[in-house]
Amino acid sequence: MTDNRRASCPTPRGRRRLTGAVAALALAGVLAGGATLEASAAGGSGPSHADRAVASVASKARRALDATVARQAAAATSAFDARRATTATLAAFTPGAVTSAHSLPVADRGGLVAVAAYFYSATGRTIQVLSYAAGRWRVAASLRPALGAPVQPRGDRDLLALADRAVPAADVTGDGRPDFLVALSAATNMPGVVVSQDGAGGGWRLVPARGPFPSSDVVARTPRFEGRRLVSTYDDCVPDCASGHRSSLVWTYERSIKSFWAPNPPGDSRSNPTPPGAGASS
């Protein structure tokens, strides 16, 4: 005779398997939806089994990300201080003058990715794309903005000041995958760079911006994600940049040129030809 009571009560090993299966199914649902883990874990009217599983994964991934960035920043600090002691152009910087910023974990094609940026790193790379697997974050790509107009280096090209901001994520290239915006600091100009795996080849990269300004990895004047758009501020600097007229520039990702493109701001008559297919690919 079958003992139905025994059959209906999983063993401890069975409960662990069931919990793991619930977590896997819940995480798969989150990743398929393209949401951040934190946003998904916070939703709903009450914590179900799946909600708790997602919350657990979100918490572990976030803690691991914080620890990874802290370790990288500590290593960068040590390297910076050692270099500062022997490099004249760095002597004026405060010891330990290393800052970092990172995004939240974001779903990307069945996995998790994040972006971390550092004021200085021993490898000379300042922005890292991280991927999460088996409870650990690993470096998937290392990137470094090409400093120049509109951002000038401060005497040492290995240095890059980070703005004290979190790194937001949104799909602004229209490929269904996350893009990240790292804010930089350059006096009163708050520029930024877009980190993306936009299908242009070569994996993760910094997406350049073209027209009405010279092509650059850096987008000047407070770039931000507004929904699924990249928007920045234009200042005509008349009579000076502190009191000039400001307007918004909306950047469109153009697959034909594998770059962001924006029209001339009001009153700007410089040559800025419209790229092929403009407006059809955003």
Q: What is the pLDDT of residues 205-215, one digit of tens each?
A: 999 998 777 78
CA distance 236 to 242: 10
CA distance 107 to 212: 33
CA distance 110 to 206: 23
pLDDT given for residue 50 in this prediction: 57
Q: Which residues of the chain have pLDDT under 70?
A: 1-51, 53-54, 89-90, 92-97, 120-125, 146-161, 163, 186-188, 267, 269-273, 276-282
Say if residue 97 is exposed, middle or buried (CB neighbours under 10 Å; 0-12, 13-18, 19+). middle
Cα angle 230, 70, 102 (rounded to 5 degrees) comes to 10
Closest CA relative to residue 162, chosen from 115, 209, 108, 210: 115
Dihedrals φ, ψ of 151, to 5°? -120, 125
pLDDT given for residue 28 in this prediction: 45
Helix, coil or strand: residue 91? coil
Dihedrals φ, ψ of 67, to 5°? -70, -40
**CB under 8 Å to 218, separation ≥6 — which residues?**
145, 146, 147, 148, 150, 151, 184, 191, 192, 193, 209
pLDDT given for residue 18 in this prediction: 42
Closest CA relative to residue 266, chosen from 227, 229, 238: 238
The residues with which 148 forms a beta bridge, in sequence order, are 151
pLDDT given for residue 116 in this prediction: 94
**Do 230 and 247 form a contact (C-beta atoms < 8 A)?**
no
**CB under 8 Å to 228, separation ≥6 — which residues?**
170, 171, 172, 174
pLDDT given for residue 35 in this prediction: 53
Find where tokens 């550092």 sit. 118
Sequence-distant contacts of 6-9: CB under 8 A, at least 24 apart: none
**Do 211 and 142 form a contact (C-beta atoms < 8 A)?**
no
